[in-house]
Chains A and B, each alone.
Chain A
């Protein structure tokens, strides 16, 4: 299981699975709707998305988040809010694509087979998430790299647009206008 993306045969398997997963999404999304209940204070994200992002963000931004637990929790909340605001400003076609991406990661069958994550997002290990991100980033399969980039840009963009991230990177912020 360590790396289902490298061996040729596995690669084939994965491509086939992603293809059928996408079809499944298209066919079932109206029936097996993603948890449509919005999370607290969210414009677009749902409850399940929050669990997913809570697992992804600390790994995507490992080394960049505050060490203090209280500060870290606040940062995580605000990154999710930034993610939510961005997606809610997208046109519907793009929101639908992000929804498909999150669905693939949340629906247990696709989460396991395409994401390589066999436990729920609430119990996943950081190593497992790291493996997922590495596999998607380096994948020969275009769709997975696109998925990685979407998550990467939404999460890192949300954090570094936030003044809380600036001290660590020595960015003084916009100049004062007198």
Chain B
């Protein structure tokens, strides 16, 4: 299947190269993968660049010890500047889609309305329909009503409370319900860009350079004339010293909410309103683990099949911070890091891991003036760091979410519940939990916070003063540069962003293709 001529593992390169193409796509996740397929199908000569390795189902062994170092940024332990948020972010051919949990949602209509009102977007559900249709058919996105015990317990809880709930759609085909989506699908059931778009693009003549980091866009006047890339070693920890310079008529950035702004910042491109890297959002995520009377084995089965939007818009679009509640998979190494105790206390929690029912709450950041998200900055060596300060507005949402998750878990029959917080202890009743949670000290590195979604940092908008790209994804200040990934979202999405990125990529890549083949 794999065409060796068209895929180059740059960690093995011994000399510098110069490459030419019609379109260079940097990043191969949801945005880059879809885009590359569309360009290649239109007959354009496409080159894809990916910092991570090119691995496939035969490499995926469902082992955390393999997956985290190989398929994630910073061993699945990327941190924000003050270390308060752990960012789980894929870094492999297929990007986040290789390791995501396959939960697909369209952009909520409230979110689109906000983007129209504040950022001058013109899109609505109707104008996006054909893009959704294309992506949903390509990736076989359909409701998945088969719930593992953990999602069933979640469903019991929200039903008992009479709270909103719905079945999640997933991008899978002949899924065996293994539950190891986050470690790379070993049976190619997941319809990621790794298994769909990228093979199509390669068959149409595209070239894929893996283990290659795009370092700098070099512009001359208003055009990018060359992209300077550096080969990574086989571990992905350092560059090897080998350079690949790529010249293309058009450059598409799809390196995600941290990678895309970082590349632009390193390139020191014109940015008169200093918008690059600002307002990067994370769906800051808190968790809660319940100890259930029955075995949950939350490491098995489709990870997320039920969601509750009961509190997503709890105070309107731009009011208090709302959040989306979902279940989560719980493989042991990840679980071990989430539980912050040590010694016997930690050993006891882990001994009952098969009875654990985890819930997570994803904060819908970016819709209120007090929620400005993070800023992508550069370390001395040019690597990115996301400075994401936590404030009272966020803490209020997080505290509210801890309470809601625990209320669901007790309603579902939990014996005990533990929020993801360094000072928390097991609560035996909803009454006890409700009282105690009001006094829990919420501070960075006390509350254990996560993110699996990077969005924003290069907002798309009609006003040059508060955006980086125009409504067609073109960089405001240069002629041959576009951005097609989650970084163009002006706020967080308010739902897992893979389908929103697939749909936007479909729309923008088709428009760009028209312009390029004119």
Q: Which of A86, A92, A145, A169 contacts B381 (CB 8 A)?
A: A92
Set of chain B residues within 8 Å of A115, measured between Cβ atoms: none
A161 to B83, CA, bound (A): 23
Inter-chain contact A137/B75, CB cutoff 8 Å: no
Inter-chain contact A171/B340, CB cutoff 8 Å: no
Q: Which of A62, A91, A130 contacts B237 (CB 8 A)?
A: A91
User: Any chain B CB within 8 A of the CB of A77?
Assistant: no
User: Whole-angstrom distance from the CB of B268 to the nearest CB of chain A?
Assistant: 20
A63-B422 in contact given A145-B446, A157-B336 (Cβ < 8 Å): no
User: Any chain B CB within 8 A of the CB of A64?
Assistant: yes
Q: Determine, out of A13-21, A67-75, A103-111, A148-156, the stretch whose residues face the partner at the interface.
A: A148-156
Report B63-88 CB contacts with A as 1/0, cut-off 8 Å. 11100110000110100001100000
A152-B65 in contact given A63-B347, A161-B332 (Cβ < 8 Å): no
A74 to B351, CA, bound (A): 21
A165-B332 in contact given A59-B342, A60-B342, A90-B75 (Cβ < 8 Å): yes
A175 to B77, CA, bound (A): 25
Most buried by A among B82, B187, B333, B348: B333
User: Any chain B CB within 8 A of the CB of A37?
Assistant: no
Inter-chain contact A171/B354, CB cutoff 8 Å: yes
Set of chain A residues within 8 Å of B423, measured between Cβ atoms: 138
User: Whole-angstrom distance from the CB of B391 to the nearest CB of chain A?
Assistant: 16
Set of chain B residues within 8 Å of A161, measured between Cβ atoms: 63-65, 68, 332-333
Report B227-238 CB contacts with A as 1/0, cut-off 8 Å. 000000001111
User: Any chain B CB within 8 A of the CB of A142?
Assistant: yes
A156-B336 in contact given A89-B235, A177-B187 (Cβ < 8 Å): yes
Report B432-448 CB contacts with A as 1/0, cut-off 8 Å. 00000000000011100
A162 to B64, CA, bound (A): 9
Q: Which interface class (under 10, 10 to 19, 20 to 34, 35 or more) fits B?
A: 35 or more
Inter-chain contact B379/A93, CB cutoff 8 Å: yes
Within 8 A of B (CB), among A85-99: 85-86, 88-95
A165 to B333, CA, bound (A): 10
Set of chain B residues within 8 Å of A175, measured between Cβ atoms: 62, 178, 300
A177 to B63, CA, bound (A): 13
Set of chain B residues within 8 Å of A153, measured between Cβ atoms: 77, 337
Inter-chain contact B83/A146, CB cutoff 8 Å: yes
Inter-chain contact A90/B74, CB cutoff 8 Å: yes
Set of chain A residues within 8 Å of B180, measured between Cβ atoms: 174
User: Whole-angstrom distance from the CB of A167 to the nearest CB of chain B?
Assistant: 11
A88 to B68, CA, bound (A): 13
A62-B337 in contact given A142-B444, A149-B445 (Cβ < 8 Å): no
Inter-chain contact B332/A93, CB cutoff 8 Å: no
Inter-chain contact B336/A171, CB cutoff 8 Å: no
Q: Which of A63, A92, A156, A168 contacts B337 (CB 8 A)?
A: A156
A88-B343 in contact given A146-B445, A157-B333 (Cβ < 8 Å): no
User: Whole-angstrom distance from the CB of A105 to the nearest CB of chain B?
Assistant: 15
Inter-chain contact B332/A171, CB cutoff 8 Å: yes
Set of chain B residues within 8 Å of A177, measured between Cβ atoms: 176, 178, 186-187
User: Any chain B CB within 8 A of the CB of A159?
Assistant: yes
Chain B residues in the interface with A (C-beta under 8 A)? 61-65, 68-69, 74-75, 77, 82-83, 176, 178, 180, 186-187, 235-238, 299-300, 332-337, 340, 342-344, 346-348, 350-354, 379, 381, 383, 385, 422-423, 444-446
**When A and B form their complex, which 9 residue pairs have the shortest distance between CB atoms, in order from nearest?**
A63-B347, A174-B62, A161-B333, A160-B336, A64-B347, A156-B336, A161-B65, A63-B344, A160-B332
Since A86-B69, A89-B75 are in contact, a sample of 11 more A-B pairs with Cβ atoms closer than 8 Å, ordered by chain A residue number, is A60-B343, A61-B343, A63-B343, A63-B346, A86-B77, A152-B337, A156-B346, A157-B336, A158-B333, A161-B63, A174-B62
A-B contact list, 15 entries, CB within 8 Å: A59-B342, A61-B346, A85-B69, A86-B69, A137-B422, A142-B445, A145-B445, A146-B83, A149-B83, A152-B342, A156-B342, A160-B64, A161-B63, A170-B354, A174-B62
